[in-house]
Amino acid sequence: MPSILSKRLLIISNRLPAVIAQGRETWSVKPGTGGLVTALAPVMRENHGVWIGWPGCGDDAPLGSLLHEFEQQQGYRLVSVPLAEQEVERYYRGFSNSAVWPLFHDLLGNCHFELSHWQAYDAVNRKFAAVIDEQARSEDFIWVHDYQLMLVGSHLRAMGRSDRLAFFLHIPFPSPDLFRRLPWKNQLIQGLLAYDQIGFQTLRDRRNFVQTAAMLMPELEIVSRQRHHTLLRLGERVIKVGHYPISIDFVEFDDFARSREVEDAAWYLHENLRGRQLMLGIDRLDYTKGIPERFLAFERALEKYPALMRRISLLQVVIPSRTLVPDYANLKELLDQLAGRINARFGQPEWVPIHYVFRCLERVQLLARYRTSEIALVTPLRDGMNLVAKEYCASSVENNGVLILSEFAGAADQLGKHALLVNPYDTDGTADAIYRAFTMDPEERRQRMAQLRSEIRRNDVHRWLRRFVEAGDDEDDDG
Ligand code: GDG
């Protein structure tokens, strides 16, 4: 197959795509999991790409030899941007995760705006830019990822680089009215406009960005609006703003879900359920994921529909995340309380309504749960895309799962027609959807899931990558 890209790919993200761990005696390195790494790895290998990011490990790790080992194994190079603890505290836990993250997910009440955090964000973005400046050759495809690195482009310009720069935002972009609450709104928008290509997950995010940029920068001209992108002009420069919904490697999930190991694990799970339906929730510990609201909706469903008693269980897996940020620690406590209260209220001998697990699952166990759960409850308050929704469908190889999906997940744009769409703030509406999924006849389940699977198969992560790269390569395109 011809390569999708003739240029060398330079990827920049907050974290390197490597998991560095300390064993009893030695350190180990292996590639990170996740759609982005899977999609990019073949292209990175083919044209000797370079990935720049923070390694996320302490100073005691023998980083040089680990990165070398990674390159030998994976066929592409990693370059580390080391960060001091105070930088991590202010740039990452501070500005990125306590200001941008809640603001961009429409949760103004969770925002903490602090000048020292903003300054550290700006400084760390400059640090990333300096490493790119050292590494980048003209003719590289330079692609910066996500909300932690929105100012990298403008720092590269300040360093005199005139390369084409691309950026993709994995999380939503808020409405102009929300964005303007940010004390450093002008600097951030100007920073983003230093990129030549800016990609968002959904059309809504793209529109929000264009409206916000037009509101804050009167000199910005909207040249044209096309189906897939909007062209903006700022002085001499033309900026392409598009939407490219990210996806998963469908075939990989589908194949693995059919494997013997997953089948065995799924069988074992089902044996333990004794004819009950299993409803699955899988999320990082995060207040954007709507987990308390989901518990309350399940409680409401049990109140409203006694037929559900003893016949369905919610398995909620929560992956520990950002537990050093206070809002996340508080959320953990709230979940413990809610699960305890609901189980005490409705539980019976041999039936626990909510199985709440606070840990990461091995991949086989994750896929076994995807494959075997009759219902998935994916109900974030807001989400850039939500890959769990897509992974669940790709792993539902028996075609009998029902996806209950929040209308505020980016994935609703592609999957909304065949999932049961809910507003996670509407407890009764979500409870009704749970009952509807529980009672849905096998033929309707099969039809809906077949449509969902074919949509994800068509629009997989490889297509996402191709679309982004081709749009970025197409320099003279004026719409
Ligand atoms: C950001 C945006 C956007 C989960 N539990 C386990 C596990 N996972 C894996 C899933 C999935 C990933 O974590 C979660 O992906 P999401 O898309 O749901 O969420 P974020 O991490 O918030 O990612 C999001 C995404 O970027 C991509 O652009 O969709 O909206 O917020 O891949 O499989 N993996 C394993 N064990 C677990 O227990 N092995």
Q: What is the set of domains in the chain, with CATH numbers?
A: 2-246+462-473 (3.40.50.2000), 250-458 (3.40.50.2000)
Distance from residue 161's CA to the centre of ligand 1 (Å): 34
Output the CA–CA distances (angstroms, integers) from residue 302 to 279, 297, 434, in the order listed.
13, 9, 10
d(C-alpha 408, C-alpha 421), whole Å:
9
d(C-alpha 210, C-alpha 450), whole Å:
36
Interface ipTM: 0.98
- Whether the CB-CB separation of 311 and 348 falls below 8 Å is answered with no
Closest protein CA for atom 28 of ligand 1:
170
Full pLDDT tens readout for the chain, 479 residues? 556 778 899 999 999 999 888 888 889 998 887 768 877 888 898 888 999 999 988 778 899 999 999 999 999 999 999 999 999 999 999 999 999 999 999 999 999 999 999 999 999 999 999 999 999 998 899 999 999 999 999 999 999 999 999 999 999 999 999 999 999 999 999 999 999 999 999 999 999 999 999 999 999 999 999 988 999 999 999 999 999 999 999 999 999 999 999 999 999 888 888 789 999 999 999 999 999 999 999 999 999 999 999 999 999 999 988 777 788 889 999 999 999 999 999 999 989 999 999 998 999 999 999 999 999 999 999 999 999 999 999 999 999 999 999 999 999 999 999 999 999 999 999 999 999 999 999 999 999 999 999 999 999 999 999 999 998 776 544 43
- Whether the CB-CB separation of 365 and 268 falls below 8 Å is answered with no
Tokens encoding 169: 């935002």
What sign does the dihedral 293-298-300-301 (CA atoms) show?
positive
Closest protein CA for atom 20 of ligand 1:
386
Distance from residue 162's CA to the centre of ligand 1 (Å): 34
Distance from residue 338's CA to the centre of ligand 1 (Å): 24
pTM for this predicted structure: 0.96
Distance from residue 363's CA to the centre of ligand 1 (Å): 12
Distance from residue 361's CA to the centre of ligand 1 (Å): 12
Tokens encoding 86: 């105070």
Helix (H) or strand (E) holding 47: none
Residues with CB under 6 Å of ligand 1 are 33-34, 170-171, 246, 282, 284, 317, 319, 360-361, 363, 366, 383-388, 391
* Phi, psi (rounded to 5 degrees) for 136: -75, 135
Closest protein CA for atom 26 of ligand 1:
170
In ligand 1, which atom is closest to the CA atom of 411?
29
Mutational pocket test of ligand 1: of 385, 393, 406, 464, the residue with most ligand atoms within 8 Å of the beta carbon: 385
- Whether the CB-CB separation of 78 and 71 falls below 8 Å is answered with yes
Give me the active site residues, please: 170, 383
Say if strands 221-225 and 229-234 run parallel, antiparallel, or are unpaired.
antiparallel
CA proximity to 403, closest of 433, 423, 429: 433
Mutational pocket test of ligand 1: of 373, 388, 414, 456, the residue with most ligand atoms within 8 Å of the beta carbon: 388
